[in-house]
Structure 1
Amino acid sequence: MQRSHARQHPVEDLPDDVLTYLLGSRYCDTQKLSDTAWSLFGNVPEGWARVQAIVDYVHNRITFGYGFARATRTASEAFQEQVGVCRDFAHLAVTLCRCMNIPARYCTGYLGDIGVPPVDAPMDFSAWFQVYLSGRWWTFDARHNLPRIGRILMATGRDATDVAMVTSFGPSCLTGFKVITDEVVPA
C-alpha cells in the first residue's frame, strides 16, 4: 500500500488495544486542544493527508532549541509557547491527531544522521510518533518533517511519561552518555 493512501479507521472499527491512543494523557492534553484541532484540520481529508497536515503545522509552529527544553511542558503549552525540543513536537502532533480521532503514540529512541548531512553535535535521544492508519502503525516526525532512515526505536507509549529516558527514585547524576550509529553497507 502506498503511504499516501493509508486511510483513517472509524473509531468503532479500531482494535481494542489501539483505543487507548485516542485518549488524553499527562502531556497530551487533548481536552485543551480539541476545538483548535477541529478548526485547523476538520476540512482536511481524513487519513494520511490529515496527519501530514498536522505534522506540517507542528513543524512550522514550534521553534526547536535545546535551551527551550522543559520536562513539564504539555502539548497545549508547546502550542502556546511555540518553542520546544523533539518531545514537544511529538506531544503536540500526537495530541492534535488524537483530537481528530486518529490513534497516535509517542516514540522514543535514537535518530542518527544516516542519509543526511552530519551535524556537529553529539547524538542524543529523539522523540517522534506513530499513527494507526489502514491497520498498521506509520512513523511521522514533526521536528524533522522528512523521511529518515536509521531510527532505533526503544519504546512507545501514550506520552513521555510511559517511556521516560530515566525514572529515578532519589538523587542521580548522569556522568556519561554516548551513542554512535553507522550505516551498514551491503557487501
Structure 2
Amino acid sequence: MLIRIGFDIELQVTAPTALIHMLQVHPSRARDLQGGENLVLSSSLHTDHYLDGFGNRCARVRIPPGVESVRLRNQALVYDTGQPDPVDFGARQHATADLPVETLPFLLPSRYCEVDSELLQFAWDSFSHAAPGWPRVQAICDFVHRHLRFDYGNARPTRTALEGFREGTGVCRDFTHLAITLCRAMNVPARYVTGYLGDIGVPPAPYPMDFSAWFEVYLGERWHTFDARHNTPRIGRIVIARGRDAADVPITMVFGANTLKRFEVTTEEALG
C-alpha cells in the first residue's frame, strides 16, 4: 500500500526570529519513502538540520528582517504494509530493575505527564488487579477511552494529564498524555508519538485532517503501539517524532509573536 502524506502550514511573524519544526518523517520510516520528501519553504531561508536527543529529524529556520510569513509545504508517498497495528497479548512487563537503561526516562514525570500526582495512587487502585503486561496496558487504554470525551472545541495546548483526567475531555494528545501517565505510574515505560494517521479502513472522521498522537510502551523486550483515543488497531501510522510527551515533539515552534494563517494536513491511501 502507498500512502500520500503532506501538509501546507503558514505562519505570520512580526519580527526577525527563528522557527524550529519537526515535520519530516522519522528516520525509522525513511526507507519506506518513495522518492523522498518534497519540503518547500516559501522563501529561500537558511535552514539548519539536526537530530535531537530522541533521534527525531528537526530543522531550525532563520527568519530575517523583512519576512512577514513563512509557508512550509511537503508531499510524499510512503510504502506501508497495510496491516493494522500488531497485537501481542502475551507481551510481558519487565521488572524495573531489568529494564534497558534507555527506557528509564520514559518512567519519569514530564511536562504534561504528572506521574507524581494523585494519578499515581489512582493507577494502583484501578489497575493493579489487571494482569501485568499487555492486559494491564489495555485496561488503561480502555479506561482512558471511556473517561475522556473527544472534543476539538475544548482543545488546549497547556492541558496536562491530570487536568484532562479532572476535566474529562480533550483531543488525541490528551488521551495520549493520560494513558502514558497511568502506564508510567504502573512502572511501564511509555513514550509519546506524533505522526500521520489517516482514515484508512475506517469511516472518515467528521472534522479536518490533523496530525495525530498515540503512544508506545516497552513490553516483552520491544516497543508496542497503543492508541487510547481510537482504542483499536489502525492502518497507516507514519511516525514523525517520539519523546516523553508533546513538549518534546512540537510540530512547529516560533521564538516570537506569530499567527497561524494556514494549517492543512493530508494523509490518505494513494489509489491508482
TM bucket by the smaller chain? over 0.9
1:13 match:
98
SS in 2 for 1:122: coil
Q: Deviations over 1:146-179 (max 9, x none)?
A: 1101111110100000001221100122222222
Higher relative CO (Cα under 8 Å, sequence separation at least 6) belongs to 2
In structure 2, C-alpha distance between the alignment counterparts of 1:121 and 1:53, rounded to whole Å: 28
Are residues 1:98 and 2:184 paired? yes
Q: Is 122-131 or 91-100 further displaced after alignment?
A: 122-131
1:87 match:
173
TM-score (ref. length: structure 1)? 0.95
Q: Deviations over 1:66-113 (max 9, x none)?
A: 011111111111111101111100000000000000000011112100
Alignment match of 1:167 (pick from 253, 263, 272): 253
How many aligned positions are there? 186
Which segments of 5 or more consecutive residues in structure 2 lack a partner in the other structure? 1-85
1:28 match:
113
SS in 2 for 1:98: helix
1:11-160 to structure 2, matched below 5 A, reads 11-32=96-117, 33-160=119-246
SS in 1 for 2:218: strand
Q: Deviations over 1:35-59 (max 9, x none)?
A: 0000000111000000000000000
Could you tell me how far 1:2 is from its partner in structure 2? 6.0
Q: Percent identity?
A: 59
Label 1:39 to 1:115 Cα distance change in 2 as closer, same or farther (>3 A): same
In structure 2, C-alpha distance between the alignment counterparts of 1:81 and 1:121, rounded to whole Å: 22
Could you tell me how far 1:184 is from its partner in structure 2? 4.8
* Larger fraction in helix: 1
In structure 2, C-alpha distance between the alignment counterparts of 1:76 and 1:182, rounded to whole Å: 34
Label 1:76 to 1:120 Cα distance change in 2 as closer, same or farther (>3 A): closer
Give the residue type in structure 2 aligned to 1:7: R
Q: Deviations over 1:120-146 (max 9, x none)?
A: 332101111000001111111101101
In structure 2, C-alpha distance between the alignment counterparts of 1:174 and 1:92, rounded to whole Å: 27
* Larger fraction in strand: 2
SS in 2 for 1:36: helix
Over alpha carbons, which structure has the higher Rg? 2
